[in-house]
Amino acid sequence: MIMLASACTGSQPGVIGETLPTTIEAPGLRLLGKVVDMDENPVPEAVVSLGEATALSAPDGWFDLETSVAGVVGVGKPAWVSAEYPWDGSSGFIDLAIAPLRLRGLRVGADVAGDDAEFSSILALAEETAINALVFDTKQEGGRVLYDTGVAAAHEFGAVVEAYDPAERIAEARAQGLYVITRIVTFEDWFWAESRPDEAYESPWINPAVTTGWEYPLALAEEACDLGFDEIQFDYVRFPSESTAGSSGQLDMSETERVTLIEGFLREARHRLHDKGCAISADVFGIVVSAHNDQGIGQRPEELTRQLDAFSPMVYPSHYSPGWLGFDDPNDHPYDVTTNAIDAARRRIAPGVVLRPWLQAFWWTDAEIRRPIQAAEDKDVGWFLWNAVSNFSRAAIPTDAEVSG
């Protein structure tokens, strides 16, 4: 298991480097510089601080900080590792480098989260391997809310089942040095559709175009942040697909209208969750990163990632159509399909957004599951393993030594 340095989220910030001096009073100081990643690419919207003064890095990474003190300059961003640098107050420019939080995670389904023995097995698996993050469901497919929420609407809809205690599981995961994320299924919701038909489609979907319907998943997200999750990951943050798309009327909207609505939801989520100290991420179909349009569902990486800290395309080769990349059966080519999706996503996501694909951990042998993991490692990105029932094989998951070697 990799013990994490702290990210700029709700957890205690970490320090990179040696112990630094106390701040020194000085009149009228101005610090100019640029926040960059380890490859010297600009990192926007990082918080730069010195004493009581703060500044936010611009889209090109530049910042301008006016301060009356010299000393320790802190820099942080949700889903990135915080850093501190000494500054003696001299004139000139300074580059502040930060690294994305490199996560290797497992999905923890409701049945596993609610079973002490099963959850202990997940913790043991993380201890023995390179896993350093767990992704819990708090609102799952269909709209079921899996804990005793304080959001009244969930009880009103009859959506609540007390499958597990999130606070208890968060504490256990944190005691082992793990980063904790919750996955919230956003607009696919039977309970909402039946209770609020004026704000839903006939099928089990909250209508994203009716913005009053946003409040329910946003309230659950805010509560999850208050419970102690480091990051809120929105899934099904889109218009419906397949037959429902044809009957809902969404295809009568322009692509720009659909994309603007989905981005608008994520913008509101970002505003609320960043204020609480949580990172925000989203899952999308793997094909979205390679398609030239929104696929009728309101998802384009360029717009979505402007509001995100991290981005997780679901790269499951079994879900790609025959002929993809010239392969009769893409499911037989886990490494190539995964590298292609990662490359496509990198070309399209906004600067400063951390790429962490969901990888297929079902239907395959241990050796086959390791192939997309190796692809992600070769591309220097984090990854999550998806298995619907959280049934993971120890032999399929690399160790610390394997991923660091």
For residue 93, what pLDDT is reported?
Answer: 84
Residue 261 binned pLDDT confidence (cut-offs 50, 70, 90): very high
Residue 231 confidence (pLDDT) above 90: yes
**pLDDT, tens digit (0-9, with 9 covering 90-100), for 138-176:** 999 999 999 999 999 999 999 999 999 999 999 999 999
Is pLDDT above 90 for 25? no
Would you say residue 9 has pLDDT above 70?
no
Q: Is the pLDDT of residue 15 over 60?
A: no
Distances (CA, A) of 106 to 57, 136, 199, 396: 32, 9, 34, 12
Banded model confidence at residue 7, pLDDT cuts 50, 70, 90: very low
Q: How much is the average pLDDT of 174-191?
A: 97
Task: State how far the Cα of 177 lies from the Cα of 14, in Å rounded to an integer.
Answer: 13
* pLDDT score recorded for residue 13: 35
Query: Could you tell me the domains of the chain?
Result: 24-100 (2.60.40.1120), 104-404 (3.20.20.80)
CB count within 10 Å of CB 293 equals: 11
Question: For the chain, what is the largest distance between any 2 Cα atoms, rounded to a whole number of angstroms?
Answer: 69
Q: What's phi and psi for 295, nearest 5 deg? A: 60, 20
Q: How confident is the model at residue 200 (pLDDT cuts 50, 70, 90)?
A: confident
pLDDT tens readout for residues 280-291: 999 999 999 999
The string of pLDDT tens digits covering residues 289-320 is 999 899 999 999 999 999 999 999 999 999 99
For residues 156 and 195, give the distance between their C-alpha atoms in angstroms, rounded to a whole number: 9
Classified as helix, coil or strand, 298 is coil
Q: In 3D, which of 300, 214, 217 has the Cα closest to residue 260?
A: 300
Query: 313 and 357 in contact (C-beta within 8 Å)?
Result: yes
Cα within 13 Å of Cα(100), Cβ side: 23
How far is 305 from 19, CA to CA, in rounded Å? Answer: 35
CA distance 123 to 176: 8
∠ CA 219-241-188, nearest 5°, is 25
Distance CA 268, CA 291 (A): 26
Q: Strand, helix or coil at 159?
A: coil
**Which pLDDT score, from 0 to 100, does residue 111 have?**
97
Question: Is the model more confident about 182 or about 92?
Answer: 182
Q: Which pLDDT band holds residue 27 (cuts at 50, 70, 90)?
A: low
Average pLDDT over residues 88-107: 91
pLDDT reading at 17 higher than 70 = no
pLDDT band at 405 (very low <50, low <70, confident <90, very high): low
Q: Could you give the CA distance from residue 77 to residue 209 in angstroms, rounded to a whole number?
A: 30
Q: Which two tokens stand for residue 402?
A: 């394997």
Residues of the chain with pLDDT > 70: what percent? 93
Q: Above 90 in pLDDT, residue 12?
A: no
Model confidence at 381, in pLDDT bands (50, 70, 90)? very high
- Does the pLDDT value for residue 18 go beyond 80? no
